[in-house]
């Protein structure tokens, strides 16, 4: 698409389109707004940049991370950097802060830079459309990492969230627990849905009923683990399964204040808890394998790229 196509689509002159894109003051504000909204929706990039993207050889890969303060994502970034350090490629990190506007801004910046590919961990929630369309239209490869979505299809490397949760909860049931609370993430996300399904399936396979009252929907952040933890600790639950490490930390804060302990389990291990001798039944996430697999996928022929699932490894708290 070029300015002539945009002009035809909007029923205005090419000169008017040019003035809008180049931020000229000599244009009706409403017309300018209409042009810029269409430009953003279509993913149009000025021809000079588009030519540069196609001609300039780049050795930079953009890595979009939703929360760099999360130890899981920080460790994942380290493993990806290790994998790509074997090549001449360098990683440009974008922290999107679980915010859709920040993600859009990052994608827009990437489109104007010399980027040879994108590896993205999506923000939480659902999408109305593929946010990477503009990049894909300029033949910039995009791989997803960790978080998948049903809103659009892209290749990538993901955790087997169902089986990881299944293993942990089944182990709790085998240890004799019959009243297990679960802290889920936002249930609009596939990650949260699959981990909840694993929790439910473990109960079904053990012929042990579960209560819907034991399902607490959080948002993968510390504050939700803390506030919901105070509610859980008032119940008769003998064990907790937290869908991620940050909510577990929030729960531990609540347990310390209330001075009540129950058995702890988490989808992913948190090494720092070993310092305080806090035992947690958890999955060991093979981050090194995730880093290696996304590295391999990046250099795979684009027609052969696919979704790869990595199964977490059950690790008991006393190991």
Task: Give the 3-state DSSP-derived string for 235-292, with helices as H, strands as E and coil as C.
Answer: CCCCEEEECCHHHHHHHHHHHHHHCCCCEEEEEECCHHHHHHCCCCEEEECCHHHHHH
CB–CB of 216/184 below 8 Å? yes
Give the pLDDT confidence score for residue 38 in this predicted structure: 83
CB–CB of 97/73 below 8 Å? no
CB burial of residue 305 (10 Å; 0-12, 13-18, 19+): middle
The CATH code of domain 50-154 reads 3.40.50.2300
DSSP code, position 224: H
Give the contacts of 217 (CB within 8 A, at least 6 positions apart): 184, 185, 186, 187, 192
CB burial of residue 267 (10 Å; 0-12, 13-18, 19+): buried
Give the pLDDT confidence score for residue 39 in this predicted structure: 79
Q: Where in the chain is the domain with CATH 3.40.50.2300?
A: 50-154, 161-284
Give the contacts of 151 (CB within 8 A, at least 6 positions apart): 126, 127, 128, 129, 130
DSSP code, position 214: G
pTM for this model (two decimals): 0.79
Q: How many CB atoms lie within 10 A of CB 48?
A: 8
**Alpha carbon of 102 to those of 107, 143, 189, 282: distances in Å?**
9, 18, 19, 32
Give the pLDDT confidence score for residue 54 in this predicted structure: 46
Helix orientation angle between 14-21 and 29-42, rounded to the nearest 10 degrees: 80
Helix ranges, the chain (H) = 3-10, 14-21, 29-42, 47-55, 71-84, 100-111, 133-137, 161-174, 190-205, 222-232, 245-258, 287-298
Residue among 86, 134, 76 nearest 110 (CA): 134
Class of domain 3-44: mainly alpha
For every residue of 62-82, DSSP letters joined together read: EEEES-TTSHHHHHHHHHHHH
The CATH code of domain 161-284 reads 3.40.50.2300
Q: Where in the chain is the domain with CATH 1.10.260.40?
A: 3-44
CB–CB of 3/17 below 8 Å? yes
Phi then psi dihedrals of residue 26, to 5 deg: -85, 60
Show pLDDT as tens, one digit a residue, over the chain (319 residues).
Answer: 677 888 888 888 878 887 887 777 778 888 888 888 887 777 666 554 444 444 445 789 999 999 999 999 999 999 999 999 989 899 999 999 999 999 999 999 998 887 999 999 999 878 888 999 999 998 899 999 999 998 999 999 999 999 999 999 999 999 999 999 999 999 999 999 999 999 999 999 999 999 999 999 999 999 999 999 999 999 999 999 999 999 999 999 999 999 999 999 999 998 888 888 899 999 999 999 999 999 999 999 989 999 999 999 998 654 4
Q: Indicate the pairing of strand 313-315 with strand 281-284.
A: antiparallel
């Amino acid at each position: 698409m070029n300015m002539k196509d945009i002009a035809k689509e909007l029923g205005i002159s090419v000169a008017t389109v040019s003035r809008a894109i180049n931020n000229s003051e000599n244009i009706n504000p409403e017309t300018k707004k209409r042009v810029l909204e269409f430009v953003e929706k279509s993913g149009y990039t000025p021809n000079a940049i588009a030519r540069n993207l196609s001609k300039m050889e780049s050795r930079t890969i953009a890595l979009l991370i939703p929360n760099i303060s999360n130890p899981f994502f920080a460790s994942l970034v380290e493993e990806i950097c290790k994998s790509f350090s074997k090549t001449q490629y360098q990683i440009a990190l974008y922290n999107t802060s679980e915010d859709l506007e920040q993600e859009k801004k990052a994608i827009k910046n990437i489109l104007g830079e010399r980027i040879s590919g994108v590896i993205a961990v999506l923000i939480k929630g659902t999408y109305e459309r593929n946010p990477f369309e503009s990049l894909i239209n300029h033949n910039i490869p995009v791989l997803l990492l960790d978080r998948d979505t049903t809103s659009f299809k892209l290749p990538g490397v993901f955790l087997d969230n169902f089986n990881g949760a299944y293993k942990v909860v089944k182990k709790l049931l085998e240890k004799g627990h019959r009243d297990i609370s679960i802290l889920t993430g936002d249930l609009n996300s596939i990650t949260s849905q699959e981990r909840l399904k694993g929790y439910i399936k473990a109960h079904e396979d053990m012929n042990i009923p579960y209560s819907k009252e034991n399902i607490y929907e959080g948002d993968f952040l510390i504050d939700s683990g803390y506030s919901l933890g105070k509610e859980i600790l008032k119940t008769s639950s003998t064990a907790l399964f937290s869908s991620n490490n940050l909510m577990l930390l929030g729960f531990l804060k609540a347990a310390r204040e209330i001075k009540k302990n129950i058995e702890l389990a988490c989808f992913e291990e948190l090494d720092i808890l070993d310092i305080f001798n806090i035992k947690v039944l958890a999955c060991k996430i093979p981050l090194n394998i995730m880093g290696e697999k996304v590295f391999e996928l990046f250099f795979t022929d684009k027609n052969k790229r696919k979704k790869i699932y990595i199964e977490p490894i059950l690790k008991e708290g006393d190991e």
